[in-house]
Amino acid sequence: MISWMAWTLPVAIFFSTIGIILVCMTAYELYSPCVERKGFLPISTTRGDRLFIGLLASAYFHLTYVGLTDMSLWLPLGISVIWLAIVLRWG
Amino acid sequence: MIIKTENNKAWWLVLPVFLLVAFSAVIPLMTVVNYSVQDIFDQNNAYFVGADWYREVLRDPRLHDSLLRQFIYSFSVLAIEIPLGIGVALMMPTKGRMGSLCLILLAIPLLIPWNVVGTIWQIFGRADIGLFGWALNALGIDYNYASNTGDAWATVLLMDVWHWTSLVALLCYSGLRAIPEAFYQAAEIDRASKWAVFRYIQLPRLKSVLVIGILLRFMDSFMIYTEPFVLTGGGPGNSTTFLSQTLTKMAIGQFDLGPAAAFSLIYFLIVLLVSWLFFTTITYMDKAK
């Protein structure tokens, strides 16, 4: 049934990770509802906003890296994970 | 003190929308991501290539050019249609039969399908059988949208303005009608000028409809395909070839599914970023007040 989706392992891991993040964020939101606040980002944000900004910025960082270099993607992936954690905590 | 817990059962009402979006958007998006990392020959022959297609697409000068053209086109459309739409809405009669007649006339271009709009303007702009092209040439203006880049751009832009300014005008008209009469009475007591009424009463009250108008027009113009395809076919040369035309050539014309999928995702990320920037800027301006 899903063969037409031409699944590959890295893409499956990518979407599973996004799914797990969303499930965890929902559970955390139910456990402790977030309040909009202002961190180092120029606008006040909710937890969901910060996740969106973190993921979008990571996508652009990856595109820039791929566009400019031929090196492995592990480096931008690592930087993106650190960046996401920083935005979620202090953004 | 008793703290009332929130009832979250209403979230179940969102489930049908969630399922619909998953079926129509999320699953196709996942498929496109899978395609973008593989070289696909047929259903049983697909080879993982990692980020190679992204590399190829991001370094392709044809795509850089069509991206630049697309941004110029979308921002030109916004720069013309938004002020023009506001102007038309301000000048429209507020009551009576004339008001209704104007609303109907404005709605007509919105009801015409894209390919028909392209065909109308393709004939309208021709110098031999089209009124617009013939009239310009009769006035001594050397106009030919099929061979001159400037003429082709002007015609494509004019066609979009003709087709979609009505949408902005209708949105602004509804926003203007929602302003309570007391605001205008207060302005009259203060002897406010027409400009002051527009600047301090009408424009701030139009902000929410303008957000919708700008977003709709940006996203729609950024994804434009049919009208320029029918009118100019992307020419002369590649001068009116926008992103969606380049993408279609790649995906359907050349059947390069991998690069086309990578390109679609980059396209999607651009639309997502610009729409988010517009939305955040305008809502944040509202909150800052």
Tell me how many domains chain A contains: 2
In which band, very low, low, confident or very high, does the pLDDT at B65 lie, cut at 50, 70 and 90?
very high
All domains of chain B in start order, with CATH:
60-255 (1.10.3720.10)
pLDDT score of B163 more than 90: yes
Residue A41: which domain range? 36-91
The model's confidence at residue B4, banded by pLDDT at 50, 70 and 90, is low
Residues in chain B: 289
State the average pLDDT over residues B51-58. Answer: 93
Q: State yes or no: pLDDT of A1 exceeds 60.
A: no
Residue type at B2 in one-letter notation: I
Judgement on whether residues A62 and A44 belong to the same structural domain of the protein = yes
- The verdict on A29 and A52 lying in the same domain is no
Q: Within this chain, do residues A51 and A90 fall inside the same structural domain, yes or no?
A: yes
What is the model's pLDDT at position B208? 84
* pLDDT at A60 (0 to 100): 96
Residues in contact with B137: Cβ distance below 8 Å, sequence separation at least 6, in sequence order: B127, B143
Predicted local distance difference test score (pLDDT) of residue B2: 58
Q: Looking at residue B283, what is its pLDDT? A: 78
**Which chain B residues contact residue A8 at CB under 8 A?**
34, 37-38, 48
Q: Indicate whether A43 and A86 sit together in one domain.
A: yes
Q: Do B8 and A30 touch (CB under 8 A)?
A: yes
Query: Please, what is the average pLDDT of chain B?
Result: 89
Q: Do A49 and A60 fall within a single domain?
A: yes
Residue A2 has pLDDT above 70, yes or no: no
Angle between helices B61-91 and B203-222 (to 10 degrees): 150
**What mean pLDDT is predicted for residues B133-141?**
92
Does residue B140 carry a pLDDT above 70? Answer: yes
For helices A47-68 and A74-90, what crossing angle results, to 10°?
Answer: 160
Residues A12 and A41 in one domain: no
Q: Alpha-carbon distance B64 to B72, whole Å?
A: 12
The mean pLDDT of B211-220, rounded to a whole number, is 89
Q: How many Å apart are CA B194 and CA B88, to the nearest integer?
A: 16
pLDDT at B94 over 90: no
A28 shares its domain with A43: no
What residues in chain B have their Cβ under 8 A from chain A's Cβ atoms? 8, 27, 30-31, 33-35, 37-38, 40, 43, 46, 48, 50-51, 54-55, 58-59, 266, 269, 272-273, 276, 280, 284, 287
Q: Which residues pair with A45 in a beta bridge?
A: A37
Average pLDDT over residues B82-96: 91
Residue closest to A44 by CA, chosen among B18, B207, B147, B283: B283
Mean pLDDT confidence for A5-11: 89
> In this complex, do A60 and B287 lie within 8 Å of one another by their Cβ atoms?
no
Option in B34, B54, B266 nearest A11 (CB): B34
A69 shares its domain with A25: no
Please indicate, yes or no, whether residues A40 and A80 belong to a single structural domain of this protein: yes
Asked whether the predicted pLDDT for residue B272 surpasses 80, the reply is: yes
Of B46, B50, B269, the CB nearest to A59: B269
Which has more confidence, A64 or B249? A64
Q: Please indicate, yes or no, whether residues A3 and A47 belong to a single structural domain of this protein.
A: no
pLDDT band at A84 (very low <50, low <70, confident <90, very high): very high
| Contact between B284 and A60 using a beta-carbon 8 Å cutoff | no
Which pLDDT belongs to residue B41? 81
Pair A18, A51 in one domain: no
Question: Which of A15, A63, A70 has the CB atom closest to B30's CB atom?
Answer: A15
Query: Could you tell me if A70 and A44 lie in one domain?
Result: yes
